[in-house]
Amino acid sequence: MITLTIDDRPITVAEGTTIWEAARTLAIEIPVLCHDPRLRPVGVCRMCVVDIGARTLVASCVRPCESGMKVVTGSEKVERQRRTLTELLMSDQPEVCPKESTTGDSVLHALARRYEATGASLPRGAGRPRDLSSKVIAVDHQACILCDRCVRGCDEIQGNDVISRSGKGYGTKIAFDLDAPMGASTCVSCGECMAVCPTGALVNKPVSGPIVPRRHLKQVDSVCPYCGVGCGLTYNVDVEQNKIAYVDGRESPVNHERLCVKGRYGFDYAQHPQRLTKPLIRRAEFYPKAALSPEVMGNQERGKGRRKTALVSYDDVMPAFREASWDEALELVASRLLAVKKEHGPGALAGFGSAKCSIEEAYLFQKLVRAAFGTNNVDHCTRLCHASSVAALLETIGSGAVTNTFAGIAESDVALFAGTNISANHPVAASFFKNAAARGTKLIFVDPRRPDIARHAWRYAQIRHGSDVAFYNAMMHVILREGLIDEAYVRDHTTGIEELRALVDRYPPALAAEICGVTAEMIVDIARAYGGAKAAITFWGMGISQHTHGTNNARCLISLCLLTGNSGRPGTGLHPLRGQNNVQGASDAGLIPMMYPDYQRVGDPAIREKFEKAWGLPLDPTPGLTVTEITTGALEGRIKGMYCLGENPFLSDPNVNKVRKALTRLDFLAVQDIFLTETAEFADVILPATSYLEKTGTYTNTDRRVQIGRPALAPPGDARLDWQIVAEIATRMGYPMLYEKVEDIFDEFTATTHEYQGLDYPILGATGRLWPAFDREAKDGEQILFGDAYPTADGRAKLVPCDFEAEKEPTSAEYPFVLNTGRLLEHWHTGTMTRRSYALDAISPGPFVEVHPDDLARLGITAGDLVSVSSRRGRIELPARRSTSVARGSVFIAFHFREAAANVLTLDAIDPIGKIPTFKLCAVNVEKAQA
């Protein structure tokens, strides 16, 4: 420890503490331009100079404290230097500062006011250009003071490495890539550079309305509505206009102020003019039901030749509906559902909830289906996401949630990423992974499509589609052969090692290499690194789960982790990265056909009795149908009535042509959403709901962190809160649901669970809590689970051996390509929100198919050409894009785009255990489209 005085005040600090940091702990504010506590200090701006009695003044942001130092932070000499510096910097500032005229918080201009510096006494330079090419950020090189904060923000915080300085002397400027226009560079529009910029050089462009200073706006602390990372953010709201002006990243244990393009710029969808504001009832002349817009009708039917649109055409759909009062609409929903129940029994009813809804909405919705409908036919998009992972986790370790947070990577020396394109799907988590790589953590990626983040990889294995089981079995083979197994851990905490050993014995690396299309050395290298790690953490995504052998894929990863004792300690763990903002919470809340809240089995009589008592009526003892089974049920006429809350199965489920038939066959369909979705075209009643931005609720992120989302906007027209609509329908169906406020629902939910005990709104506060959080005095919930024992009957985890299985639909002469589907950074699922967000839609306006350059050449296709992609189930047309991320013989299509819906092509074969469809693999043909 070092003792010194700052402005005559004594202070003792740890060695290595800078003068600036020490002063800050004394609440002495030393002005800075180039420094930000989140960045490595560089000391280039010299604004933070202080007097330490040396020959010259020193930069306090880089100078470490020394014993006995006497620091003066604001003497006349110091102030004179700062004034001169400000004068010099101001001399080249533009007439109107882009930051002062928008958010009004230019650090430089605040200093200029303090020192009354205008720069007018100094000659001006020749002037530097502006760059308005980015859709979301305006660059004014004239306002740039070359403090390098954007460079370090891009490199050190986000790990994107796009910005640097270019040139020398007066001509020096920040440059994107090889000095490309920002909008044409590899910039991913996360906005970090803009957020750290102290001047008007980098400012937000308006997304939905004018940008004004924060003091004129209302600040609403909330959580991002998009992915499972759950970033803390602040909406700056123009209350009068009922608009969000811009978004700031907020300090939270999740994101530490970081955001991605969706969180920062994708907030204007709620204000889109197409919002539903009145309940709608289908007109009598539009029966029998059929799709209403050409895109939803499919290729074969009418509407051919018309240009396909990015959004559901309201002109096509609205004439089929008439506006109704809430009373009429709700009464119709309740009475029609009751009629189906009466005529065909409760098993003919089903409900689709959504992982975009809050815990309260999910809890209430499953309660409605179970108590008022009288069936367990309730499911949501987790079925299309991590159902197989959860099945494997519950089977092996007794709990479906992550065992460590993603930030746990900070303590790992090796991290394995299996089938996850994190920089597109969990961009902010990816930034922390890149930070770990920069600190020396070895990142290993195993994926048939090269993820962008692979440039930070220690090893990247481009395995063949669907060969995962062979790959991980071979890794385990090497680990066992070379004695890298954690004997003590396996002995004390697992069962089934002998069976596993016998199976993986049959998977030498040479055999797996043949199956996977990588070298045996690659497998051995990766196995040694993982097996030899002090702490290895394992992440996986849809590339593992969305297969007909998804459960087997996950079982292998779990075995790999257990075999090497990489669980229950800092830096280790199993982390299936959750996709939706509340997929964890909605599953926790029981939006699953075989489980009540907190994964309590429907089939267990004691559990059922508990819920029957709590909900006051007898419940259906048989587990319900899953998403894909409900669709099949509707097609076969067993499911007659459905209530769809926030889901859009038409685009999100596999084999669109089958879904279309299934939806047409329903006797009654109620859709509750914020826009007309493709699914809503088949509805009898459409209920206008509130968007995320207009309501209060809790959401559980991928880490198990329960956070409160708070309303930033007022709902439009007659749109109602989702939980109130659900409660109203239940009540009208004869099962009264009477709640005063949303917190009451949360409290009722937590009372039925074990894991959510100890959580309530007051304790969740601004940054939420990880569950479990039984100790209310602790700072947070448990980060790392299962250090001592697993929540299984014997306290041990089960090693489940799995054999490699060949694909359900191998490529053939007719369909020689493998189709892989997934998502893009800028878009969210079926695009209902993001395609109505100005910035996101502008950056990524349409569909494309990624094809390897060699395949393009072989087929005589030029990048940008319209190609036809067909499978045994359907055909779509979209432009080809040249990409070396995909392997030869495989293509990739994002499933966001209705005008070329990837799920027209996908196969609806499902995993026998997780019941998840195989979105990641089917055979297709690619050819030049007919002109």
Interaction site with another protein (CB under 8 A): 155, 161-168, 175-179, 455
Q: Angle at the Cα of 833 (from 902 to 208), degrees rounded to 5?
A: 135
Asked whether 766 and 760 are in contact (CB, 8 A), the reply is no
Nearer to another protein, 171 or 717 (CB): 171
Asked whether 563 and 486 are in contact (CB, 8 A), the reply is yes
Nearer to another protein, 124 or 165 (CB): 165
CB atoms within 10 A of CB 53: 8
Nearer to another protein, 124 or 455 (CB): 455
Q: Rounded to the nearest whole angstrom, what is the least distance from the CB of residue 154 to another protein in the complex?
A: 9
Q: Rounded to the nearest whole angstrom, what is the least distance from the CB of residue 798 to another protein in the complex?
A: 41
Nearer to another protein, 162 or 851 (CB): 162
Q: Rounded to the nearest whole angstrom, what is the least distance from the CB of residue 193 to another protein in the complex?
A: 12
Q: Rounded to the nearest whole angstrom, what is the least distance from the CB of residue 153 to another protein in the complex?
A: 13
How far CA 133 is from CA of 185, 189, 223, in Å, comes to 10, 12, 29
Nearer to another protein, 182 or 595 (CB): 182
Please provide the DSSP assignment of 107-127 as one string.
Answer: HHHHHHHHHT---TTS---S-
Q: Angle at the Cα of 617 (from 616 to 618), degrees rounded to 5?
A: 140
Q: Rounded to the nearest whole angstrom, what is the least distance from the CB of residue 457 to another protein in the complex?
A: 10
Q: Rounded to the nearest whole angstrom, what is the least distance from the CB of residue 178 to another protein in the complex?
A: 5
Nearer to another protein, 162 or 515 (CB): 162
Q: Rounded to the nearest whole angstrom, what is the least distance from the CB of residue 832 to another protein in the complex?
A: 36
Nearer to another protein, 167 or 845 (CB): 167
Strand 697-700, strand 705-709: pairing: antiparallel
Which residue has 């960045």 as its token pair? 39
- How would you write 316-352 as a 3-class SS string? HHHHHEEECCHHHHHHHHHHHHHHHHHHHCHHHEEEE
CB atoms within 10 A of CB 311: 18
Which residue has 């006797």 as its token pair? 667
CB atoms within 10 A of CB 122: 14
Nearer to another protein, 55 or 168 (CB): 168
Q: Rounded to the nearest whole angstrom, what is the least distance from the CB of residue 162 to another protein in the complex?
A: 6
Q: Rounded to the nearest whole angstrom, what is the least distance from the CB of residue 165 to another protein in the complex?
A: 5
Nearer to another protein, 167 or 345 (CB): 167
Nearer to another protein, 48 or 856 (CB): 856
Q: Rounded to the nearest whole angstrom, what is the least distance from the CB of residue 256 to another protein in the complex?
A: 22
Nearer to another protein, 167 or 618 (CB): 167
Asked whether 222 and 712 are in contact (CB, 8 A), the reply is yes
Q: Angle at the Cα of 285 (from 279 to 287), degrees rounded to 5?
A: 85
R_g over Cα of the chain: 29
Please provide the DSSP assignment of 579-593 as one string.
Answer: -BTTHHHHHHTT-BT
Nearer to another protein, 173 or 835 (CB): 173
CA nearest to 265, candidates 277, 282, 249, 252: 249
Q: Rounded to the nearest whole angstrom, what is the least distance from the CB of residue 164 to another protein in the complex?
A: 3
Enter the DSSP assignment of 155.
I
Please provide the DSSP assignment of 162-227 as one string.
Answer: -EEEES-GGG-EEEETTTB-GGGSS-----HHHHH-SSSSEEEPPSSS----GGGSEEEEEE-SSB
Q: Rounded to the nearest whole angstrom, what is the least distance from the CB of residue 261 to another protein in the complex?
A: 19
Nearer to another protein, 161 or 525 (CB): 161
Q: Rounded to the nearest whole angstrom, what is the least distance from the CB of residue 177 to another protein in the complex?
A: 5
Residues 6+ apart with CB under 8 A from 602: 376, 593, 594, 595, 596, 608, 619, 620, 621, 622, 623, 624
How far CA 537 is from CA of 392, 434, 524, in Å, comes to 17, 14, 18
559: alpha, beta or left, given left = phi > 0 and alpha = psi -120 to 50? alpha
CA separation for the pair 266, 260 (Å, rounded): 9
Nearer to another protein, 164 or 277 (CB): 164
Q: Rounded to the nearest whole angstrom, what is the least distance from the CB of residue 71 to another protein in the complex?
A: 33
Residue type, 119: G
CA separation for the pair 181, 188 (Å, rounded): 13
| Per-position b or e across 565-584, b if 16+ CB within 10 A of its CB | bbbbbebbbbbbbbbbbbbb
Nearer to another protein, 177 or 612 (CB): 177
Residues 6+ apart with CB under 8 A from 744: none
Q: Rounded to the nearest whole angstrom, what is the least distance from the CB of residue 482 to another protein in the complex?
A: 29
Asked whether 426 and 702 are in contact (CB, 8 A), the reply is yes
Q: Is 375 helix (H, G, I), strand (E, B) or coil?
A: coil
